[in-house]
Amino acid sequence: MPELISSKEVKARKEHRCELCNGFIKKDEVYIKQTCKFSGYIYNFVEHKECSQILSSLWRFIDPIEGATDEDYTEGVMSYSQLFVCPRCDKWDSEIEECKDDMTPYSDCRAKIIDRLSKYQIKFNRIKFAWEEIEGESHD
């Protein structure tokens, strides 16, 4: 598992790509920069502040074994969105169970996801063998 050496907020001097959603971090945008070490290699990992917040809130839902990859993040955000966010959105087509807009990887829905995560906790119901939301502030 990667070792976190440092993590800080940085104002972008140039455009970057978010390692989680693969969207652009624009010049002058504040983002999270982490320096990590894995198998003797030191590298930087950059992410939108919002993506970092979502990952932190959805960590148990995503359940990465060796740290979260962009695939883990995208799959987790898509699954969470389709279960809890999209059905309540006016862009959701309930007949075909798809978004009317092309939202992959849901980067345009980050604000809706963060809002929902601030109001609900997600827990795994072992009896129903399904994730469910419980009203109340999220406890990261």
- One domain, residues 33 and 101: no
Model pLDDT, residue 16: 95
Higher-scoring residue by pLDDT: 30, 134: 30
pLDDT tens string 78-127: 888 888 888 888 777 777 777 776 655 455 678 888 888 888 888 877 78
Q: How far is CA 98 from CA 28, 80, 91, 95, in A?
A: 34, 14, 9, 8
Task: Note whether residue 72 is domain-resident.
Answer: yes
Task: Note whether residue 9 is domain-resident.
Answer: yes
**Residue range of the domain that includes 34:** 3-48
> What does the mean pLDDT of the chain come to?
83
The domain total for the chain is 2
The amino acid sitting at 21 is: C
Q: Is the pLDDT at 139 greater than 80, yes or no?
A: no
pLDDT tens string 31-74: 999 999 989 999 999 999 999 988 888 887 777 666 677 888 88
- One domain, residues 128 and 61: yes
CB-based contacts of 78, cutoff 8 Å, min separation 6 = 104, 105, 106
Task: Note whether residue 82 is domain-resident.
Answer: yes
Query: How far is the C-alpha of 78 from the C-alpha of 106, rounded, in Å?
Result: 7
